[in-house]
Structure 1
Amino acid sequence: MTYSKKTVLAFCAGLGLALSVRAQEDNLHRRSAIYEAPKDAKVIEKLDRWQDQKFGMIIHWGIYAVPGIIESWSICSEDWIERDSTITYNDYKKWYWGQSKKFNPVNFNPEQWADAADAAGMRYLVFTTKHHDGFNMFDTRQSDFKISNGPFADDPRADVARYVFDAFRKKGFMIGAYFSKPDWHSEYYWWRKYATPTRNNNYDIRKNPWRWNKFKDFTYNQISELMHNYGSIDILWLDGGWVRPRETVNDEVLSWGAPIPEWSQDIDMPRIAAMAREAQPGILMVDRTVHGPYENYQTPEQRIPDEKIDNPWESCMTLGNAWSHVPGDKFKSTAKVIHSLVEIVAKGGSLLLGVGPKPDGTLSQEVIDRLKDIGKWMSENGEAIYNTRTVDHYSDENTYFTQNPKKKKTYAIVCLPENKTIPEVVTWTGNLPKKGSSMKLLQTGKNVKWEKEGNQVKIFLPASLQQNKDVPAIAFSYTREK
């Protein structure tokens, strides 16, 4: 994951780090402008199933949790990143990587995470098996820089990814493995012969093909371990979109402002995908921002697209400001998360909400409580979210519409201002109910009175609801007029 200026400044202040960013929105993965639909029938089937889930959890957890800072980026030496001037860059990297010797999550509790996600109404998981810093949260044989080779090594659950996946599988979740294509700890990516000026590999691949081929094999072998040793995997979620064939760098990519080397950082995705799909038939490949056959759905980051998108997509957003655990982080309100989820689903996407466990291996109580509050709304109104698809007229001011074609139902979800009582009447224009049909309020399961005036529908709400101030949205199901 990457960061906006506000996020970076807030989370590095405690270590004397002050990171700043160029004026552009920067350093956030954007949605590819091009989408290529998959042709494999098993992939198409799994993609359709994934589009039914709508709400997932992404977990960032690694050595960055120990000091409570943002993951990986503080060891990258680009001109938007600043560090304490009294600490040399190399000393800082040693300090950062040295957190592996302190990472001992003695209270590791993936069942707690899965319970919290389930309570929130989430239905799929993406777990960070390795971020850009190269620290592995699974028992890879390709590197000693891993959770199972430190203070936690003797714990029976030291291969933490295995137990995270198992805990969420038991809840019926679809399982995704996040994997960073760049690896800043690997000598085959950041060669210690040279300085490490940017996020890119720091040597000319054209002059050192042997070294890059070693990195390609290293990457292939690690992904192969995940595909073969960790049970059923539904999604391979590949981050670090700058690691890509040079020929895919177009004007869209250049507009992001990230440094682009003269050589191709091609890791042979066709070979990786063939192996992954042999081991995991139908697996969704999500090679973020690298449009083509290995980006089965698109992933705008920390933003909701302005308009409805017909391609499969997901907006990955944080519950707080950070992807990982940062003490004192400020979390979004329940209403804010639900309003975002509603808008995203109405526009054809899914919400992947980011949380970060503490260094001891547990989620904070504040995160658990917030997820529980979100789940309360989902338990009553999830019918308007799960298994739905878009309608042409997807919104009218603060009202959003979805449909379930199999049930022949349309849903209207009215997002309400925070800490305001529910009004007596709500209205919307378009997507009118069929004459003589009933309108059900999902929160109560009871029918409500409605009437039509021209192209507008007016809904009369029961008095028992109107003193309630903690309802972020109200949802209705009905049969739409053709």
Structure 2
Amino acid sequence: MKKIVVTLGLLLTLYTLHAQTNAQLDPKILTSKKIMDQFMGLRFGMFIHWGPVALRGTEIGWSRHREVPASDYDTLYKAFNPTKFNAEEWVKTARDAGMKYLTITAKHHDGFCLWPSAYTDYDIMSTPYKKDVVGQLAKACKKYGIRFCIYYSVLDWHHPQYPVDNPYDTTAKGKRPDAHMDQYVQYMKNQLKELITHYDPYMLWFDGPWEAPWTKEMALDMYAYLKSVKKDVIINNRLGKQFAGTGSSAAVFLGDYDTPEQRIGELNMDILWETCMTICEQWAWKPNDQMKSLQTCIQTLAKTAAANGNLLFNVGPMPDGTIEPAQVTRLHEMGQWLKKYGAAIYNTQAGPYLPAKNYAATRKDKKIFIHIFENPGPTFTLPALPGVNVSKVSFLNGPSLPFKQNATAINITLPAVLPDLNDTVIVLETDTPTMRIPLLKKDQQ
């Protein structure tokens, strides 16, 4: 009974701190603790940035008015015909990578919609393809047990009622003087209700609230509205004005979790967060884009979990609707690693060791998982955990390892060659539920 009380007490404390970031809202409408605990336990998801811009191989949204003239960008949909798109193949790629959820850019900053919307003709049904991409993905995710999520940009540089046309031109030429933001906000509500009603997303991933037309009051109203449509839909913090990865600070933001971008967030046991990062360099497809090594991919996932965050890992499919074979292979390789070491990632929490240069730690129940990123030599030394006895050390799903512990250190004997050069996981079994163990401080490590 004591174990249960302490664990629940800790979790309630964490959630209370999380909820305080939404003090502007009625706490009754915030996403439930049960749903957020489930979400954070997933640890690994697929982000997909895709649309007609793939025909140019430039960045989605951001290349409009820059690499691609708006007159060209805004008509790309007329040639967008991804005949090789297969929703089940995308979802199976995510599943085989060990990913537990999938987030598709239903509408990016460019305003193009990947579903047949009743509120605009700038959508997938106006293309030669004429099939519901969002709907096909939602159906495939349900079939393969992947949680389906939707990205929706607050910005819409294409919509006639959104005041900004060109974010790179701060003069009057970059604005729409006759735009009506109130009408655009209603358009957003209509589309978001449409998306929730038709596709029942697990999570809504917003982006783009930095522009002046979108206000804090609009964000508060929108959060409350979305909760009236679906109570426990998860909503990231980019609906509100403070969006760009608060890290270890206790900054106030609107939403259910924080979203550091293209970097691993700092260890934080109080604020829930998810790193979004690209498998290559560009979010949307780019010819000959530089892909991350397998070691970098695996260690990014492990370091994210060891800092108590989720990883939303992005791919940009090609114009024909397929994901580049090299990216599929890399994701499959990550999945093979997770088949062996997934217990050290899923449903774990960070600590009690702080992330270090050559290793990081996750924990669950009475086990501490040590992710070794560099071969330390014949002896791997960890600081002792005050008041904690280690009863066994072993490779995860492998043999036991000799070790000695004293008041200051745990010395583990390792073989000359580690089982996995990308990330070898060893397990410390303790006599204490590991979530009772305080995080070590920097001077202890």
Distance, in Å, in 2 between the alignment partners of 1:433 and 1:344 is: 27
Distance, in Å, in 2 between the alignment partners of 1:75 and 1:219 is: 21
Match of 1:220 in 2: 189
Residues 140 and 431 (structure 1 numbering): CA distance in 2 closer, same or farther, change over 3 Å?
farther
Question: Letter of the aligned partner of 1:165 in structure 2?
Answer: A
Match of residue 374, structure 1, among 311, 323, 334: 334
Tell me by how many angstroms 1:454 deviates.
4.3
Distance, in Å, in 1 between the alignment partners of 2:255 and 2:227 is: 14
Tell me by how many angstroms 1:394 deviates.
2.3
Equivalenced residue count is 401
Match of residue 81, structure 2, among 100, 104, 107: 104
Residues 458 and 302 (structure 1 numbering): CA distance in 2 closer, same or farther, change over 3 Å?
same
TM-score, normalised to structure 2, is: 0.82
Residues 308, 346 of structure 1: 8 Å contact kept: no
Match of 2:155 in 1: 182
TM-score, normalised to structure 1, is: 0.76
Match of 2:299 in 1: 339
Tell me by how many angstroms 1:348 deviates.
1.4
Query: Is residue 2:271 matched to residue 1:311?
Result: yes
Distance, in Å, in 1 between the alignment partners of 2:167 and 2:420 is: 56
Give deviations 1:226-275, integer Å, cap 9, x for gaps: 11111x311111110214xxxxxxxxxxxxxxxxx5x6646733443334
Distance, in Å, in 1 between the alignment partners of 2:267 and 2:285 is: 32
1:354-433 equivalence runs, <5 A: 354-404=314-364, 407-416=365-374, 423-431=377-385
Tell me by how many angstroms 1:423 deviates.
4.4
Distance, in Å, in 2 between the alignment partners of 1:65 and 1:199 is: 29
Residues 430 and 337 (structure 1 numbering): CA distance in 2 closer, same or farther, change over 3 Å?
farther
Tell me by how many angstroms 1:411 deviates.
1.6
Tell me by how many angstroms 1:163 deviates.
0.9
Question: Letter of the aligned partner of 1:438 in structure 2?
Answer: K
Tell me the SS of whatever aligns to 2:210: coil
Tell me by how many angstroms 1:449 deviates.
1.9
Match of 1:283 in 2: 233
Residues 396, 428 of structure 1: 8 Å contact kept: no
Match of 1:211 in 2: 180
Match of 2:246 in 1: none
Match of 2:5 in 1: none
Match of 2:32 in 1: 43
Tell me the SS of whatever aligns to 1:448: coil
Query: Is residue 2:54 matched to residue 1:65?
Result: yes
Match of residue 119, structure 1, among 93, 96, 116: 96
Question: Letter of the aligned partner of 1:94 in structure 2?
Answer: S
Identity over aligned residues, as a percent? 29
The farther-off stretch of 37-46 and 364-373 is 37-46
Residues 186 and 410 (structure 1 numbering): CA distance in 2 closer, same or farther, change over 3 Å?
same
Question: Letter of the aligned partner of 2:207 in structure 1?
Answer: D
Query: Is residue 2:398 matched to residue 1:438?
Result: no
Question: Letter of the aligned partner of 1:283 in structure 2?
Answer: V
Tell me by how many angstroms 1:214 deviates.
1.2
Tell me the SS of whatever aligns to 1:304: coil
Distance, in Å, in 1 between the alignment partners of 2:425 and 2:42 is: 20
Match of residue 408, structure 2, among 450, 455, 458: 455
Distance, in Å, in 2 between the alignment partners of 1:345 and 1:459 is: 23
Match of 1:246 in 2: none
Match of 1:7 in 2: none
Give deviations 1:54-103, integer Å, cap 9, x for gaps: 11110001011112111111224xxxx5x5xxxxx8xx211112211111
Residues 310 and 106 (structure 1 numbering): CA distance in 2 closer, same or farther, change over 3 Å?
same
Distance, in Å, in 2 between the alignment partners of 1:63 and 1:435 is: 58
Give deviations 1:23-52, integer Å, cap 9, x for gaps: xxxxxxxxx9x9337834753221111010
Distance, in Å, in 2 between the alignment partners of 1:413 and 1:240 is: 35
Distance, in Å, in 2 between the alignment partners of 1:132 and 1:449 is: 55
Tell me the SS of whatever aligns to 1:310: coil
Residues 55, 351 of structure 1: 8 Å contact kept: yes
Q: Give the root-mean-square deviation of aligned CA atoms.
A: 3.0
Question: Letter of the aligned partner of 1:57 in structure 2?
Answer: M
Residues 133 and 269 (structure 1 numbering): CA distance in 2 closer, same or farther, change over 3 Å?
same
Give deviations 1:3-27, integer Å, cap 9, x for gaps: xxxxxxxxxxxxxxxxxxxxxxxxx
Residues 97 and 474 (structure 1 numbering): CA distance in 2 closer, same or farther, change over 3 Å?
same
